[in-house]
Structure 1
Amino acid sequence: MSVNEHKSKRYVNCRTAVITVSDTRGEASDKSGRLIKQLLLEKDFTVADYAIVKDDKEAIRHAITYRLAGSDAILINGGTGIATRDVTLEAVKPLIERELPGFGELFRMLSYTEDIGSAALLSRALAGTIGRTVIFSMPGSSGAVKLAMEKLILPELHHIIHELNK
């Protein structure tokens, strides 16, 4: 089976959850969360849940585990930098059963070549699976979200969910 034939298999009724990690954003100022939801809806995904949580490991873990049962995909933005308060990866990584290292690698490569140059090395984007749910954790800037969603996540999301539900 060719790559295109393989990728053409679509899992229907994909339910997604969007989590923004931020100590400063509210729903009105969450430009990146809005962008993720908009891009998902444009590609016929259901946005079943949305939350903004503080940069706190336990709050982030709770937000993820609470949404696992009702989501095929959880898309997280924010808290992926190297500042002391950026703890999203420390919260997410222990929950991951199977890491998808290509997401972070490709995201940093695209960020370097298309967007921010050497500052891409500061990005700690991460993806993996927990059971039959795929988790994507990306930086919180709307430019990073747009890049990750349009170039990496949306082109593969149906395929990933299909594979997880075989």
Structure 2
Amino acid sequence: MSKKMTEEHPLRAAILTISNSRTFSNDTNGLMIQSALTHAGHQVVDYQIVRDDREEITRHLHEWVCSVDVVITSGGTGLAKRDVTLEAIEPIFDKKITGFAGLMDALAYRNDCGVQSLAYRSSAGVCRQCLVFCLPGLPRLIKIGMEKIIIPEVFHLHDELQK
């Protein structure tokens, strides 16, 4: 979609960083997501940081899915016991966008991490007509996910939800 179309119909977005150590002063991941969205002409209407806690994650998601077009999370998607983002969010999906994780894996493998990409999970789905993207907490993978998948495709996916 052209920049003019984005300006005429910006999507409303919320960002959720999941981390036990990040704060608003050092959350480069959230700022990177915010910058990519605003540079593409979208409106970031909320941005929060929560601990790796299922209840906190789902509370924010439930608050946002009826008021924004897209939610993007970063962090909490690894393999450690504390990483519960996908376990908290995927059960809430009405529909899962299965191709997103595959594309993220392929791009991470080819462009950044090699076989270590196995440790960086991602997911996407729809919850009450809201697109939800869960990105790993690795800044290089956030950049790949935003630039190569989310920004180029978010309007098309949003339009599909309106049908």
Equivalent in the alignment of 1:13: 10
**Inter-partner Cα distance in structure 2 for 1:118 and 1:11:** 42
Amino acid aligned to 1:47: V
**Inter-partner Cα distance in structure 2 for 1:95 and 1:153:** 20
Q: 1:111 aligns with which of 105, 108, 111?
A: 108
Which structure has more relative contact order (CA 8 Å, sep 6+)? It is 1
Q: 2:42 aligns with which of 34, 45, 48?
A: 45
Aligned residues: percent identity?
36
Amino acid aligned to 1:62: R
Tell me the SS of whatever aligns to 1:127.
strand
Indicate the RMSD between aligned Cα atoms, in angstroms. Answer: 1.7
Distance 1:11 1:130, change over 3 A: farther
Q: How many residues in Structure 1 have an aligned counterpart in Structure 2? A: 160
Equivalent in the alignment of 1:134: 131
Instruction: Please give the residue correspondences for 1:66-81 in structure 2 after superposition, counting only pairs within 5 Å.
Output: 66-81=63-78
Amino acid aligned to 1:116: C
Give TM-score, length-normalised by structure 2: 0.94
Give TM-score, length-normalised by structure 1: 0.92
**Inter-partner Cα distance in structure 2 for 1:103 and 1:119:** 18
What runs of 5+ residues in structure 1 fail to find an aligned partner? none
Equivalent in the alignment of 1:24: 21
**Inter-partner Cα distance in structure 1 for 2:102 and 2:24:** 30
The answer to whether residue 163 in structure 2 is matched with residue 144 in structure 1 is no
The answer to whether residue 144 in structure 2 is matched with residue 160 in structure 1 is no
Contact in 1 for aligned 2:11/2:42 (Cα 8 Å): yes
Distance 1:61 1:165, change over 3 A: same
Q: 2:89 aligns with which of 88, 92, 114?
A: 92
